[in-house]
Amino acid sequence: MKKRSWVAALATPLTLFTATLLASEKLYNFAFKRVDYVPETSADKQKYADAYWAYVNWLYRQPIQKWQLNLGDAENRLVAQYVPAKANSRKTVIISHGYKGDGETMANYAYMFHNMGYNVLLPDDRGHGKSAGKYISFGWQDRRDYLGWVDQVIKTVGKSAEIVLFGVSMGGATVEMMSGEELPPQVKAIIADCGYTSIEEELAYLLKRQFHLPKYPFVPIVSFINRHRMGYFLSDVSSVEQLRHNKLPIFFIHGEKDVYVPSWMLKKNYRATTAPKMMWQVPNATHAESFWIGPAAYEKHVSAFLNRYLDD
């Protein structure tokens, strides 16, 4: 083979490899790097905007307390908003928000639980809102951060506290991942709304659906980048594996028409745990729409589940 032909033959795969690496780096930054604003909701949810802002306005009329974790560590400092119940209560819900959201974006759920007599804690996850962090961990680091919030609730409310873990979308996956940790007896139940099975499966699914790209080689390269930046591979970030260790009662909620986190993920998560469990697929609801499509029905289902497992 002539030298020029050999160089040309080598250049083509090298160029392709370089382009794939650059595309994977861009994908990683797009998906995992923090943004210091809350993106607009999808067009199909704009119809709920007035109701959403009414809930936010309600939240900021409450006697909010600012809570923090890791105060002496600027790179790991975490912030949350705590809304005490109207009357003294042992019941507290810790609400985990969705991807690129923050505690404020969960004001509607805070209102619901507040009306049910709960203290409400609204953390900003690592890489979100007022909390520190360069990257989004999709629930994996957050599951341990939330153990700190659980401890702080117990210190504030007392050892007789009854704690519910509640989350939507990425927050749903976060509380599912928490289920596999060693939790104190004060944590009584978990409610996970439209949580994914694993970030690896979710990323591969969205790559195909939104960008028409295959899982290979992009997901493994992104996983390698995350291992370098965050210290773990994407395959580690699994709701399913954590749910296999779950011992707490858990209520799975999912929109029947969810195409962002597809319903097969709900079924896979549901099958993963042998603990007491319930599942509610909400007719006609898209991703994270189950509350908005019928707030009264949503509260009724949540109350019915929690009344089985909380003393009050």
pLDDT at residue 9 in the model: 46
- Give the whole-angstrom CA distance, residue 153 versus residue 163: 8
Kindly report, residue by residue over 247-258, the tens digit of the pLDDT: 999 999 999 999
- Give the whole-angstrom CA distance, residue 146 versus residue 227: 22
Mind listing the domains of the chain with CATH numbers?
Answer: 59-198+237-307 (3.40.50.1820)
As to burial, measured by CB atoms within 10 angstroms (0-12 exposed, 13-18 middle, 19+ buried), residue 102 is buried
- The tokens for 19 are 């382009």
pLDDT at residue 16 in the model: 78
- The tokens for 42 are 């999808």
- pTM for the full model? 0.94
Kindly report, residue by residue over 32-58, the tens digit of the pLDDT: 999 999 998 888 899 999 999 999 999
List of the chain residues with pLDDT < 50: 1, 6-11
Cβ atoms of 77 and 68 closer than 8 Å: yes
Name the one residue in this structure whose structure tokens are 């944590």.
187
| Ranges assigned E (strand) in the chain | 65-69, 78-83, 91-96, 119-124, 162-168, 187-193, 250-255, 277-282
pLDDT at residue 115 in the model: 97
Q: What strand order describes the sheet that includes 78-83?
A: 65-69, 78-83, 119-124, 91-96, 162-168, 187-193, 250-255, 277-282
